[in-house]
Amino acid sequence: MSLVKLTGVHKHFGTNHVLKGVDLAVEQGDVVALIGRSGSGKSTLLRTINGLERIDEGELLVDGAALHAGQGDLRALRQKVGMIFQQFNLFPHLTVGENVMLAPTVVKRRSKAETEALAREMLDKVGLADKFASYPEQLSGGQQQRVAIARALAMQPRVLLCDEITSALDPELVSEVLAVVRQLAREGMTLIMVTHEMRFAREVGNKLIFMHHGRIHESGDPREVFADPRTPELANFIGAVQAH
Amino acid sequence: MAYRFDFAAVFQHSDLLLAGAGFTLALTAVGAAAGIALGILGAVSRAWRLPLLNGLFGVYVEVIRNTPFLVQLFFIFFGLPALGVKMTEWQAAVLAMVINLGAYSTEIIRAGIQATPRGQLEAAESLALTRLQAFRHVVLRPALARIWPALNSQVIIVMLGSAVCSQIATEELTFAANFIQSRNFRAFETYLVTTAMYLFMALLIRQVLAWVGRRFVIGRTR
């Protein structure tokens, strides 16, 4: 059974029909790259998977738990799905350690000793064990994003969603974040990422999804799809990105 | 004939002045603590549009912010006994200050809550926090930090406004000053000393609140 499965998912923002019937299956251990022009619906698609956007029609299944259109309890779903944002969204009034410990403490009600050990382990994983007592504003963008990854991992999610997580970073900081993501992929974490890093998508991803006008326009193995796009829209998009 | 200043005539009543100042500070401390707590409840009700509470707080804020404090105080102390609600002058003074500050701080704190960046809420949601958990752990402290200077000013305004409570014979600083002046007829000296004492208390409160802010709200030691 697929870890994440979307069936006939529709989403409207007012009169704007953003997702027009998306079917998608993600298996355990998949690394999925979502690409497409801005406004194609790729971020919206990602955000439906942890309920940040409610779906208007269709069905979403994560790890066997179903979420139908307009349905209520998202918290069970969200404990299985981690999310990392373009703007990091660390909590500025909490230290790095407190950022990572917050959700396991208040949501899972783990003891302080247990969450602290967990937080230190996760920060060590992203190479920031020594920043436990620092505040987010004392860190570089790349370090902040790695803390955000540790924070998401501390909830031990089944799948991690990455929404353009290197787009707000200075170029020299991108690689340290990608290295962490690459390591997670190697360890078998299921990843779904909206990205503009085409080389990274080709190198790390095993599934490429090209969104166009609210639909999955083309998908497949990244190496094959990049080498030989079947639709003119994808060929155009790849050309535009590479010319850049 | 030149006026001869006689501050000794004031200072012989310094025990009254100090007791009055102490009461003013106590009124302010209780009024501020309860008023801000009420303001947080009001701000959440308004910001989240909680059914019933949103409407109630909306009316409350408009009524209090658009009527004189003195009239509010008189209504509580002289008006409410008609409904069988009798209070001592102290109870009435505290209640009036809490109600007054509660209304202003509702609006101030609401502004702080509504300035929370969307991404903060989305991050909290993604981590499976409930709305209440997100409010308590993610929204509240940065919201208070954002509006702390405005809230401090409002507390000082309320402290200065407590002078009005002398009108229902609450024995705070202005009441003491009026009493002394009526005994020694040294209005200039009495009110000059009183002015200095209010000024000192306002500066003191500002310092204390700034410390509280650094220590517990903004929470950054750099």
pLDDT of residue A92: 94
C-alpha to C-alpha distances, A132 to A118, B1, B57, B184, nearest whole angstrom: 12, 74, 41, 65
pLDDT of residue A74: 80
Any B CB within 8 A of A93 CB: yes
pLDDT of residue A65: 79
Section B85-100 average pLDDT: 96
**Dihedral sign for Cα atoms in the order A117, A123, A129, A134:** negative
Any A CB within 8 A of B126 CB: yes
Residues whose CB falls within 8 Å of the CB of residue A54, separated by 6 or more in sequence, listed in order: A11, A48, A69, A70
Any B CB within 8 A of A238 CB: no
Q: Which residue has the higher pLDDT, B1 or A121?
A: A121
Where in the sequence is the domain holding A214, given as residue range(s)?
4-243
A169, A178 in Cβ contact below 8 A? no
Any B CB within 8 A of A75 CB: yes
pLDDT of residue B222: 38
B114, B139 in Cβ contact below 8 A? no
Q: Are the Cβ atoms of B129 and A152 closer than 8 angstroms? A: no
- Smallest Cβ–Cβ distance between A78 and the set B128, B133, B142 belongs to B128
Any B CB within 8 A of A155 CB: yes
| Domain residue limits, chain B | 8-217
pLDDT of residue B36: 97
Q: Are the Cβ atoms of A89 and B122 closer than 8 angstroms? A: yes
pLDDT of residue A72: 55
pLDDT band at B221 (very low <50, low <70, confident <90, very high): very low
3-state DSSP call for residue A20?
Answer: strand
Euclidean distance between CA atoms A50 and A67, whole angstroms: 10
Answer whether residue A62 shows pLDDT above 70: yes
Q: pLDDT, tens digit, for every residue of A181-204?
A: 999 999 999 999 999 888 899 999
Cβ-based contacts of B138 with chain A (< 8 Å)? 91, 102
Q: What share of chain B is helix, strand, coil (3-state, %, to 5)?
A: 80, 0, 20
pLDDT above 70 covers a percentage of chain B that reads 98
Q: Are the Cβ atoms of A52 and B219 closer than 8 angstroms? A: no
Average pLDDT, chain A: 92
Q: Which residue has the higher pLDDT, A65 or A35?
A: A35
Any A CB within 8 A of B121 CB: no
- Smallest Cβ–Cβ distance between A102 and the set B125, B137, B142 belongs to B137
Q: Are the Cβ atoms of A103 and B129 closer than 8 angstroms? A: yes
Q: pLDDT, tens digit, for every residue of A219-238?
A: 999 999 988 999 999 999 98
Answer whether residue A122 shows pLDDT above 70: yes
Any B CB within 8 A of A13 CB: no
Q: Are the Cβ atoms of A89 and B120 closer than 8 angstroms? A: yes
pLDDT of residue B2: 85
CATH number, position A10: 3.40.50.300
Cβ-based contacts of A122 with chain B (< 8 Å)? none
ipTM above 0.95, yes or no: no
- Smallest Cβ–Cβ distance between A93 and the set B126, B130, B145 belongs to B145
Any A CB within 8 A of B145 CB: yes
Cβ-based contacts of B141 with chain A (< 8 Å)? 93
C-alpha to C-alpha distances, B96 to B75, B93, B101, B158, B206, nearest whole angstrom: 9, 5, 9, 10, 22
pLDDT of residue A71: 52
Q: Are the Cβ atoms of B119 and A106 closer than 8 angstroms? A: no
Q: Which residue has the higher pLDDT, A28 or A64?
A: A28
Q: Are the Cβ atoms of B120 and A81 closer than 8 angstroms? A: no
Any B CB within 8 A of A168 CB: no
Answer whether residue A241 shows pLDDT above 90: no
The first and second tokens of residue B178, run together, are 């009026």
- Smallest Cβ–Cβ distance between A155 and the set B120, B127, B219 belongs to B127
Q: Are the Cβ atoms of B128 and A155 closer than 8 angstroms? A: yes
A32, A7 in Cβ contact below 8 A? no
A56, A44 in Cβ contact below 8 A? no
pLDDT above 70 covers a percentage of chain A that reads 97
pLDDT band at A77 (very low <50, low <70, confident <90, very high): confident
CATH number, domain B8-217: 1.10.3720.10
* Number of independent structural domains in chain A: 1
Q: What share of chain A is helix, strand, coil (3-state, %, to 5)?
A: 40, 25, 35
